[in-house]
Protein backbone atom coordinates (compact mmCIF):
# COMPACT_ATOMS: atom_id res chain seq x y z
CA UNK A 1 0.00 0.00 0.00
CA UNK A 2 1.35 3.41 -0.97
CA UNK A 3 -0.12 6.80 -0.17
CA UNK A 4 0.96 10.42 -0.56
CA UNK A 5 -0.44 13.52 1.11
CA UNK A 6 0.89 16.98 1.74
CA UNK A 7 0.42 20.04 3.94
CA UNK A 8 1.03 23.54 2.61
CA UNK A 9 1.51 26.54 4.92
CA UNK A 10 -1.32 29.03 4.56
CA UNK A 11 -3.58 26.38 3.00
CA UNK A 12 -3.45 23.40 5.36
CA UNK A 13 -1.85 24.97 8.41
CA UNK A 14 -1.00 28.33 9.92
CA UNK A 15 2.32 28.76 11.72
CA UNK A 16 0.54 31.19 14.02
CA UNK A 17 -1.11 28.33 15.88
CA UNK A 18 0.47 25.14 14.56
CA UNK A 19 3.76 24.44 16.30
CA UNK A 20 6.41 22.82 14.09
CA UNK A 21 6.08 19.53 15.96
CA UNK A 22 2.34 19.53 15.25
CA UNK A 23 2.99 20.02 11.53
CA UNK A 24 5.43 17.10 11.61
CA UNK A 25 3.05 14.81 13.48
CA UNK A 26 0.06 15.68 11.31
CA UNK A 27 1.93 15.27 8.02
CA UNK A 28 2.65 11.66 9.00
CA UNK A 29 -0.72 10.91 10.62
CA UNK A 30 -2.79 11.99 7.60
CA UNK A 31 -0.91 9.48 5.47
CA UNK A 32 -1.16 6.66 7.98
CA UNK A 33 -4.90 7.32 8.10
CA UNK A 34 -5.10 6.43 4.41
CA UNK A 35 -3.26 3.16 5.07
CA UNK A 36 -5.58 2.49 8.03
CA UNK A 37 -8.65 2.97 5.84
CA UNK A 38 -7.48 0.13 3.61
CA UNK A 39 -6.96 -2.24 6.52
CA UNK A 40 -3.20 -1.91 6.24
CA UNK A 41 -0.22 -1.69 8.55
CA UNK A 42 1.99 1.35 7.87
CA UNK A 43 5.68 0.43 7.76
CA UNK A 44 7.82 3.16 6.19
CA UNK A 45 7.62 6.80 5.25
CA UNK A 46 9.67 9.42 3.44
CA UNK A 47 9.34 13.17 3.95
CA UNK A 48 9.90 16.02 1.49
CA UNK A 49 10.24 19.38 3.23
CA UNK A 50 10.33 22.65 1.28
CA UNK A 51 11.17 25.77 3.30
CA UNK A 52 11.86 29.47 2.93
CA UNK A 53 15.65 29.89 3.22
CA UNK A 54 15.24 32.06 6.33
CA UNK A 55 13.41 29.36 8.34
CA UNK A 56 14.99 28.94 11.77
CA UNK A 57 16.91 25.70 12.30
CA UNK A 58 14.92 25.14 15.50
CA UNK A 59 11.71 25.03 13.44
CA UNK A 60 13.13 22.19 11.36
CA UNK A 61 14.40 20.32 14.43
CA UNK A 62 11.03 20.61 16.17
CA UNK A 63 9.23 19.58 12.97
CA UNK A 64 11.40 16.47 12.76
CA UNK A 65 10.71 15.68 16.41
CA UNK A 66 6.98 15.67 15.60
CA UNK A 67 7.55 13.44 12.57
CA UNK A 68 9.49 10.98 14.71
CA UNK A 69 6.90 11.05 17.50
CA UNK A 70 4.21 10.04 15.02
CA UNK A 71 6.50 7.38 13.55
CA UNK A 72 7.13 5.99 17.04
CA UNK A 73 3.40 6.07 17.86
CA UNK A 74 2.58 3.79 14.94
CA UNK A 75 5.89 1.90 14.68
CA UNK A 76 6.79 3.37 11.30
CA UNK A 77 10.37 3.88 10.08
CA UNK A 78 11.33 7.20 8.53
CA UNK A 79 13.60 5.89 5.76
CA UNK A 80 14.44 8.97 3.73
CA UNK A 81 13.61 12.46 2.68
CA UNK A 82 14.56 15.55 0.74
CA UNK A 83 14.90 19.26 1.41
CA UNK A 84 14.17 22.10 -0.97
CA UNK A 85 13.53 25.81 -0.78
CA UNK A 86 10.13 27.38 -1.43
CA UNK A 87 8.39 30.66 -0.61
CA UNK A 88 6.35 28.93 2.11
CA UNK A 89 6.70 25.73 4.09
CA UNK A 90 5.32 22.66 2.42
CA UNK A 91 5.55 19.04 3.55
CA UNK A 92 4.83 15.95 1.47
CA UNK A 93 4.87 12.52 3.03
CA UNK A 94 4.65 9.15 1.33
CA UNK A 95 3.77 6.19 3.53
CA UNK A 96 4.25 2.57 2.54
CA UNK A 97 2.40 -0.23 4.24
CA UNK A 98 1.48 -3.85 4.02
CA UNK A 99 -1.90 -5.57 4.21
CA UNK A 100 -1.83 -8.58 6.52
CA UNK A 101 -5.26 -9.68 5.29
CA UNK A 102 -7.89 -8.29 2.97
CA UNK A 103 -7.33 -4.85 1.45
CA UNK A 104 -10.58 -2.92 1.91
CA UNK A 105 -11.44 -0.63 -1.01
CA UNK A 106 -13.91 2.23 -1.14
CA UNK A 107 -16.01 0.46 -3.69
CA UNK A 108 -17.42 -2.64 -1.99
CA UNK A 109 -20.68 -1.40 -0.45
CA UNK A 110 -23.94 -3.15 -1.40
CA UNK A 111 -27.56 -2.12 -0.76
CA UNK A 112 -28.57 -3.37 2.65
CA UNK A 113 -25.14 -2.87 4.24
CA UNK A 114 -25.09 -0.84 7.44
CA UNK A 115 -23.11 2.43 7.33
CA UNK A 116 -20.95 3.03 10.41
CA UNK A 117 -18.31 5.38 11.70
CA UNK A 118 -15.67 5.16 14.38
CA UNK A 119 -15.45 7.69 17.21
CA UNK A 120 -17.07 11.14 17.09
CA UNK A 121 -17.02 13.83 14.45
CA UNK A 122 -16.42 17.58 14.41
CA UNK A 123 -13.59 17.67 16.93
CA UNK A 124 -10.89 18.80 14.53
CA UNK A 125 -13.02 21.55 12.97
CA UNK A 126 -13.99 22.63 16.49
CA UNK A 127 -10.35 22.76 17.52
CA UNK A 128 -9.51 24.84 14.47
CA UNK A 129 -12.38 27.21 15.30
CA UNK A 130 -11.09 27.55 18.87
CA UNK A 131 -7.57 28.29 17.62
CA UNK A 132 -8.83 30.85 15.12
CA UNK A 133 -10.70 32.65 17.89
CA UNK A 134 -7.72 32.76 20.25
CA UNK A 135 -9.17 30.05 22.50
CA UNK A 136 -6.37 27.55 21.93
CA UNK A 137 -5.30 27.70 25.58
CA UNK A 138 -8.83 27.50 27.02
CA UNK A 139 -8.97 24.29 29.11
CA UNK A 140 -12.52 23.59 27.86
CA UNK A 141 -11.24 23.13 24.31
CA UNK A 142 -7.96 21.30 24.87
CA UNK A 143 -9.46 18.05 23.63
CA UNK A 144 -10.73 19.64 20.42
CA UNK A 145 -7.48 21.48 19.81
CA UNK A 146 -5.45 18.30 20.30
CA UNK A 147 -7.64 16.50 17.76
CA UNK A 148 -6.88 19.27 15.25
CA UNK A 149 -3.15 19.58 15.87
CA UNK A 150 -2.27 15.96 16.63
CA UNK A 151 -4.85 13.78 14.90
CA UNK A 152 -4.87 10.04 15.44
CA UNK A 153 -4.72 7.59 12.54
CA UNK A 154 -7.14 4.75 13.27
CA UNK A 155 -4.68 2.02 12.35
CA UNK A 156 -5.68 -0.49 15.03
CA UNK A 157 -9.40 -0.04 14.28
CA UNK A 158 -8.84 -0.28 10.53
CA UNK A 159 -6.99 -3.55 10.94
CA UNK A 160 -9.66 -4.96 13.24
CA UNK A 161 -12.48 -3.94 10.90
CA UNK A 162 -10.74 -5.32 7.81
CA UNK A 163 -10.89 -8.80 9.29
CA UNK A 164 -14.49 -8.46 10.52
CA UNK A 165 -16.51 -8.47 7.33
CA UNK A 166 -16.56 -4.77 6.35
CA UNK A 167 -17.27 -4.28 2.65
CA UNK A 168 -15.91 -0.76 2.07
CA UNK A 169 -13.98 1.79 4.07
CA UNK A 170 -12.63 5.36 3.80
CA UNK A 171 -11.15 7.83 6.27
CA UNK A 172 -13.04 11.04 6.94
CA UNK A 173 -10.49 13.65 5.94
CA UNK A 174 -12.67 16.19 4.15
CA UNK A 175 -15.92 15.91 6.11
CA UNK A 176 -18.55 13.20 6.41
CA UNK A 177 -20.55 14.57 3.47
CA UNK A 178 -17.69 14.59 1.00
CA UNK A 179 -16.12 11.31 2.05
CA UNK A 180 -19.51 9.55 2.23
CA UNK A 181 -20.17 10.79 -1.30
CA UNK A 182 -16.84 9.30 -2.45
CA UNK A 183 -17.57 5.96 -0.82
CA UNK A 184 -21.07 5.70 -2.27
CA UNK A 185 -20.05 6.83 -5.74
CA UNK A 186 -17.20 4.29 -5.77
CA UNK A 187 -19.73 1.55 -5.02
CA UNK A 188 -22.43 2.91 -7.31
CA UNK A 189 -24.90 2.91 -4.42
CA UNK A 190 -27.12 5.30 -2.48
CA UNK A 191 -27.82 5.77 1.20
CA UNK A 192 -30.32 6.54 3.88
CA UNK A 193 -28.61 8.32 6.78
CA UNK A 194 -30.08 9.56 10.05
CA UNK A 195 -28.03 12.71 10.73
CA UNK A 196 -29.12 12.66 14.37
CA UNK A 197 -27.24 9.40 14.84
CA UNK A 198 -23.89 10.92 13.91
CA UNK A 199 -21.93 11.20 17.19
CA UNK A 200 -20.97 14.79 17.90
CA UNK A 201 -17.61 15.43 19.58
CA UNK A 202 -17.68 16.52 23.22
CA UNK A 203 -16.95 20.20 23.69
CA UNK A 204 -18.65 21.51 20.56
CA UNK A 205 -21.67 22.78 22.52
CA UNK A 206 -19.40 24.72 24.88
CA UNK A 207 -17.56 26.05 21.86
CA UNK A 208 -20.76 27.25 20.25
CA UNK A 209 -21.60 29.11 23.46
CA UNK A 210 -18.13 30.67 23.64
CA UNK A 211 -18.08 31.56 19.95
CA UNK A 212 -21.64 32.41 18.92
CA UNK A 213 -20.74 32.76 15.25
CA UNK A 214 -19.19 29.27 15.21
CA UNK A 215 -21.23 26.70 13.29
CA UNK A 216 -23.73 24.53 15.18
CA UNK A 217 -22.18 21.37 16.69
CA UNK A 218 -24.17 19.16 14.32
CA UNK A 219 -22.93 21.10 11.33
CA UNK A 220 -19.32 20.70 12.44
CA UNK A 221 -19.94 16.97 12.90
CA UNK A 222 -21.52 16.51 9.45
CA UNK A 223 -19.17 18.68 7.47
CA UNK A 224 -16.04 19.35 9.54
CA UNK A 225 -12.96 17.78 8.03
CA UNK A 226 -9.76 16.20 9.37
CA UNK A 227 -11.31 13.98 12.03
CA UNK A 228 -9.66 10.97 10.39
CA UNK A 229 -12.30 8.64 11.77
CA UNK A 230 -13.18 5.62 9.62
CA UNK A 231 -16.42 5.40 7.64
CA UNK A 232 -17.30 1.82 6.69
CA UNK A 233 -20.07 -0.47 5.54
CA UNK A 234 -20.88 -3.96 6.75
CA UNK A 235 -23.63 -6.49 6.03
CA UNK A 236 -26.19 -6.56 8.88
CA UNK A 237 -25.15 -10.09 9.83
CA UNK A 238 -21.55 -8.96 10.46
CA UNK A 239 -22.43 -5.71 12.26
CA UNK A 240 -22.13 -7.03 15.81
CA UNK A 241 -18.80 -8.69 15.10
CA UNK A 242 -17.37 -5.61 13.35
CA UNK A 243 -18.56 -3.26 16.06
CA UNK A 244 -17.08 -5.46 18.77
CA UNK A 245 -13.73 -5.76 17.01
CA UNK A 246 -13.60 -1.98 16.65
CA UNK A 247 -14.53 -1.34 20.26
CA UNK A 248 -11.82 -3.73 21.40
CA UNK A 249 -9.33 -1.20 20.02
CA UNK A 250 -10.81 1.41 22.36
CA UNK A 251 -12.88 3.21 19.76
CA UNK A 252 -16.66 3.51 19.56
CA UNK A 253 -18.47 2.25 16.46
CA UNK A 254 -21.82 3.80 15.55
CA UNK A 255 -24.34 2.81 12.88
CA UNK A 256 -25.64 5.96 11.16
CA UNK A 257 -27.69 4.55 8.28
CA UNK A 258 -27.99 2.08 5.47
CA UNK A 259 -26.72 1.57 1.95
CA UNK A 260 -29.53 1.72 -0.62
CA UNK A 261 -29.89 1.59 -4.36
CA UNK A 262 -31.50 5.03 -4.26
CA UNK A 263 -30.30 8.60 -3.95
CA UNK A 264 -27.22 9.84 -2.14
CA UNK A 265 -28.23 12.36 0.53
CA UNK A 266 -27.09 13.42 3.98
CA UNK A 267 -29.90 15.34 5.64
CA UNK A 268 -30.67 18.24 3.30
CA UNK A 269 -27.39 17.79 1.43
CA UNK A 270 -27.45 16.27 -2.06
CA UNK A 271 -24.25 14.22 -2.20
CA UNK A 272 -24.26 14.26 -5.99
CA UNK A 273 -23.42 17.93 -6.01
CA UNK A 274 -19.92 18.72 -7.25
CA UNK A 275 -17.21 17.96 -4.68
CA UNK A 276 -16.40 21.62 -4.18
CA UNK A 277 -19.92 22.13 -2.87
CA UNK A 278 -19.66 19.34 -0.27
CA UNK A 279 -16.42 20.14 1.60
CA UNK A 280 -16.38 21.63 5.04
CA UNK A 281 -14.89 24.93 3.91
CA UNK A 282 -17.94 25.71 1.88
CA UNK A 283 -20.39 24.77 4.60
CA UNK A 284 -18.54 26.62 7.33
CA UNK A 285 -18.57 29.73 5.19
CA UNK A 286 -22.33 29.80 4.81
142 forms part of the interface with a second copy (CB under 8 A): no
17 part of the interface to a second copy, by CB under 8 A = no
86 binds a second copy (CB under 8 A): yes
Residue with Cβ nearer a second copy (49 or 191): 49
- Pick the piece of the chain touching a second copy (CB under 8 A) from 59-67, 76-84, 149-157, 215-223: 76-84
- The nearer residue to a second copy, 95 or 259, going by C-beta atoms, is 95
Among 28, 38, 41, 47, binds a second copy (CB under 8 A): 47
5 binds a second copy (CB under 8 A): yes
**By CB under 8 A, residue 105 contacts a second copy:** no
Strand 41-51 to strand 77-85: parallel, antiparallel, or no bridges (unpaired)? parallel
By beta-carbon proximity to a second copy, the closer residue of 87 and 111 is 87
Number of residues that bind a second copy (CB under 8 A): 27
Task: Indicate whether 87 belongs to the interface with a second copy (CB under 8 A).
Answer: yes
- Can you tell me the distance from the alpha carbon of 174 to that of 179, in angstroms, rounded to the nearest whole number? 6
Is residue 32 near a second copy by the rule CB under 8 A?
no
- CA dist 18 and 263 (Å) reads 40
Tell the smallest beta-carbon distance from residue 176 to a second copy (Å): 20
Q: Which is nearer to a second copy, 55 or 163 (CB)?
A: 55
**Residue 238 burial class via C-beta count within 10 angstroms: exposed 0-12, middle 13-18, buried 19 and up:** middle
Nearer to a second copy by Cβ, of 72 and 86: the residue is 86
- Any contact of residue 94 with a second copy (CB under 8 A)? yes
85 binds a second copy (CB under 8 A): yes
Residues lying near a second copy in the complex (CB under 8 A)? 2-6, 8, 10-12, 44, 46-48, 50, 79-82, 84-88, 90, 92, 94, 96
Amino acid sequence: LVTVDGLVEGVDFDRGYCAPGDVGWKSVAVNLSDIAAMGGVPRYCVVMLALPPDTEVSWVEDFLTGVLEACARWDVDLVGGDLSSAPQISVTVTAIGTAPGLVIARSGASPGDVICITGELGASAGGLTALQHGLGDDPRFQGLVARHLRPEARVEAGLALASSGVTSMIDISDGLGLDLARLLRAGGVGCSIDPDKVPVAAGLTDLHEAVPDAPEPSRLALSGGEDFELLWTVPPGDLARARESCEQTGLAATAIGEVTSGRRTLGALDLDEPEEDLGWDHLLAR
